[in-house]
Amino acid sequence: MPGPPWPANHSGKHRRPTLSEQSTDVLEASDLGYEPNPEAVDPGAAADDATMGSFDVESGVYTPRQVTSNDLGGMSFEDAISGTIVEFDDGDIVNGTVVKIDKDEVLLDIGFKSEGVIPSRELSIRNDVDPSEIVSLGEEIEALVLQKEDKEGRLVLSKKRAQYERAWGTIEQLKEADGVVRGPVIEVVKGGLIVDIGLRGFLPASLVELRRVRDLAPYVGRNLEAKIIELDKNRNNVVLSRRAWLEETQKEQREEFLANLKPGEVRKGTVSSVVNFGAFVDLGGMDGLVHVSELSWKHVDHPGSVVAVGDEIEVQVLDVDLDKERISLSLKATQQDPWQEFATNHRVGELVYGRVTKLVPFGAFVQVGEGIEGLVHISEMSQHHVDLPEQVVTPGEELWVKIIDLDLQRRRISLSIKQAAEGGVVAAEYQQHFGEHAYDAEGNYIGQPIPEGEVTDAETAWAEYYAEYGDGTTPPAAEAGAGSGTADVPEGGAAPDAESAALDEPTDPEAPPAG
C-alpha cells in the first residue's frame, strides 16, 4: 500500500508543506483523485497579464504584481474614494441603472453607497401597475430623491415624480402657446377620463366630444388630442378639452353648416343626449338644443318623459347664433297647437266635459282637452256661497262646465260649473258622442228618445209611488213636515217640483244638463 503524499517527517497532523518540502515533494493533482485540464489555464496568458501577478503551474508558486507607478495621478486615496460617490439632496433628480425588479419595488444604482429603492406606487402615474411593464433590467432612467435615508436606512426614489417635474415644464409651455397635448386614456373616473400626458390630465365627460358621451369605457387605451384649459401646479390640477380641439380642427365645416341653416327650417335629427333643461339633437353636423319649454305644448316635468337618446325626430330651427355657434330648436313647433285647435272648434257659451286636475284657494283647474286646462273660479262653482273649492269638487272628478271666456293669446280659459247647471249648447264633439237626436235645433240637450212600449226608470218609480200611496194620498213624511212648511203633494198625485226633476233626470251620468 503506498504511503501518504506528505513528506516522511509528517507528524500526522495536517499542515502546509514548507518551501523546501515543496521543492522535493510537490502535491500533484492526481494524488487528490483528479486530472488538471490543460485548457483551463494558459501559462502564457497568465504571464502576459499585466494587471495581475504570475502563477507557476509546475511549481505552484504565485508571484504578486509589483506596483511600479502611482496611478492616482496625485489624488489622495480618500479623494479617490469620495469621487466615486454621487452627492445629492432630497428633491434632486438623479440618473441610474435598473439592477433589480421585484413585484413591489425596483432597485436603482445611482452610484451611491447603496442602491436606491423605487416603490411600485412611485413608478408610474397609473394605478396598480406591474413594475416589469414599466422598466427593464439595465435600463437608464431618471428618478427624484424622496428620502436620502428613511427609517430603515434606505434611499427612497420616485420615477413618476421625476417624470412629473419634467412634464410640468413642457405642459406650461404648451398652455402658453395654446398648443395640443396627446396621450393615452388610462382610466375612467367619476365625471370623465384620466389621460397620461406625463402627468394625470383630467378630461371631463362633457368635453370628450362635440356632444356629451354617456359611455366612456371604450375610450380607455385610445390616444387622444386635447387642449389645456386649466393648469394649477400647486393643486396638481390639469384640465383638458378634446371638444375645444375638435372645434378648432372642424371650424370650417361648422361655419359652412351654420351658414346653410335658416330659422324656420324643419330638419330631421337624432336625440344625442337628454339633460334636465332639454334635449340635444344631432342634425348631422352639429348639435342643437331643444329647451324643455319647446318639447311639448303640454307641461313637461322632465325631458326624458318626451324623448330618449337615439330617437329620430323632426325639429324646427328657431334661431342660429353664428358667434356662439349655438342652434335653438323646437319640437312642439312641428306639432299641432292644441290651444289653436281648441279655439277653432269651440266658442264661448258651449258646454264641455272635463276632469278636475287641481284645487287652489281661488278655484279649481279642469282639463277640457289634451294639454288644455281652464279655471273655474270659486265664484262660478255654485249658486250658493262657497268657502273652499273642495266643498264642491274633488281632484279626479269629471263634470260638465261652460266656457265663459276664451283668450287664445294669453292661453287662458274661464269655466263655470254653476252656469253649466243651467244648461246650454253642447260642443260638437259631445253631440257626436250622444247622437244628434239627443239635441234640439239650437244644440240643447233634450235626452234620448224613448222607444215605443219601453218603460223608463221614472215611470217605474211613479208606479211604485202610486201603488204604495194611491192617487191622492199624502205620504206620511209629507204629513209630518206639513207643520214646518213642507209642501203637500198636489191633487192627482203630482210630486213636488224638486222630486219630479230628480226623477226626470237622464240616466246617463255623463249626459249634459238639460237646457
Q: What is the pLDDT of residues 328-344, one digit of tens each?
A: 999 998 988 888 888 88
Residue 353 falls within a domain, yes or no?
yes
Question: Residue ranges of the alpha helices (H) in 270-366?
Answer: 338-345
The top-scoring range by mean pLDDT among 351-365, 421-435, 479-493 is 351-365
Residue 34 has pLDDT above 80, yes or no: no
The values of phi and psi at residue 169, to 5°, are -60, -45
The CA-based dihedral angle spanning residues 333, 335, 337, 341, taken in that order and rounded to the nearest 10 degrees: 150
Average pLDDT of every residue of the chain: 76
pLDDT band at 24 (very low <50, low <70, confident <90, very high): very low
Task: Name the strand (E) or helix (H) holding 351.
Answer: strand 350-360
Answer yes or no: do 346 and 425 share one domain.
yes
Answer yes or no: do 348 and 409 share one domain.
yes
Answer yes or no: do 342 and 418 share one domain.
yes
Q: Of the ranges 157-161, 314-318, 445-449, which one carries the lowest mean pLDDT score?
A: 445-449
Residue 183 falls within a domain, yes or no?
yes
The CA-based dihedral angle spanning residues 146, 149, 155, 156, taken in that order and rounded to the nearest 10 degrees: -30
Which is it for the CA torsion 285, 286, 291, 292, positive or negative? positive
CATH number of the domain where residue 242 is located:
2.40.50.140
Instruction: Give the C-alpha separation, 258 to 246, whole Å.
Output: 16
Let me know the angle formed at the C-alpha of 319 by 317 and 320, rounded to the nearest 5 degrees: 100
Answer yes or no: do 343 and 330 share one domain.
no
Contact 242, 225 (CB under 8 A): yes
Give the residue-averaged pLDDT of 103-110: 86
Answer yes or no: do 344 and 425 share one domain.
yes
Boundary (domain end) residue, out of 223, 249, 275:
249
pLDDT band at 194 (very low <50, low <70, confident <90, very high): very high
Give the residue-averaged pLDDT of 116-120: 87
Answer yes or no: do 491 and 468 share one domain.
yes
Residue 16 falls within a domain, yes or no?
no
Residue 154 falls within a domain, yes or no?
yes
* pLDDT value, residue 502: 39
Answer yes or no: do 342 and 323 share one domain.
no
Boundary (domain end) residue, out of 291, 317, 334:
334
* pLDDT value, residue 415: 94
Give the residue-averaged pLDDT of 158-181: 84
The values of phi and psi at residue 315, to 5°, are -130, 155
Report strand pairing: 155-158 vs 116-119: parallel
Q: What is the DSSP string of 387-414?
A: SSGGGT--TT-EEEEEEEEEETTTTEEE
pLDDT band at 253 (very low <50, low <70, confident <90, very high): confident
Structural domain containing residue 498: 457-504
- Number of neighbours of residue 250 by Cβ within 10 angstroms: 14
Contact 231, 238 (CB under 8 A): yes
Answer yes or no: do 325 and 359 share one domain.
no
Residue 2 has pLDDT above 70, yes or no: no
Answer yes or no: do 150 and 96 share one domain.
yes
Residue 95 falls within a domain, yes or no?
yes
Residue 12 DSSP one-character state: S
* pLDDT value, residue 432: 62
Residue 414 has pLDDT above 90, yes or no: yes
Contacts of 4 (CB under 8 A, 6+ apart): 10
Report strand pairing: 326-330 vs 287-291: parallel
Chain mean position to CA 383: 57
- Counted domains in the chain: 5
Give the residue-averaged pLDDT of 491-507: 41
Report strand pairing: 398-407 vs 350-360: antiparallel
pLDDT band at 21 (very low <50, low <70, confident <90, very high): very low
Residue 320 falls within a domain, yes or no?
yes
Instruction: Give the C-alpha separation, 250 to 210, whole Å.
Output: 10
* pLDDT value, residue 458: 63
Answer yes or no: do 478 and 496 share one domain.
yes
Tell me the three cell numbers of residue 295. 318639447
Residue 205 falls within a domain, yes or no?
yes
Residue 103 has pLDDT above 60, yes or no: yes
Task: Look up the pTM and report it.
Answer: 0.42
Residue 379 has pLDDT above 80, yes or no: yes
Q: Of the ranges 197-206, 401-410, 504-513, which one carries the lowest mean pLDDT score?
A: 504-513
pLDDT band at 23 (very low <50, low <70, confident <90, very high): very low
* pLDDT value, residue 437: 56
Contact 374, 354 (CB under 8 A): yes
| pLDDT tens, position by position, 283-313 | 887 889 999 999 988 888 899 999 998 899 9
Residue 497 falls within a domain, yes or no?
yes
Answer yes or no: do 195 and 229 share one domain.
yes
Answer yes or no: do 125 and 198 share one domain.
no
Give the residue-averaged pLDDT of 206-218: 84
DSSP E strands: which ranges in 13-74? 54-56, 61-63
Boundary (domain end) residue, out of 233, 249, 265:
249
| pLDDT tens, position by position, 354-378 | 999 999 999 999 999 888 899 999 9
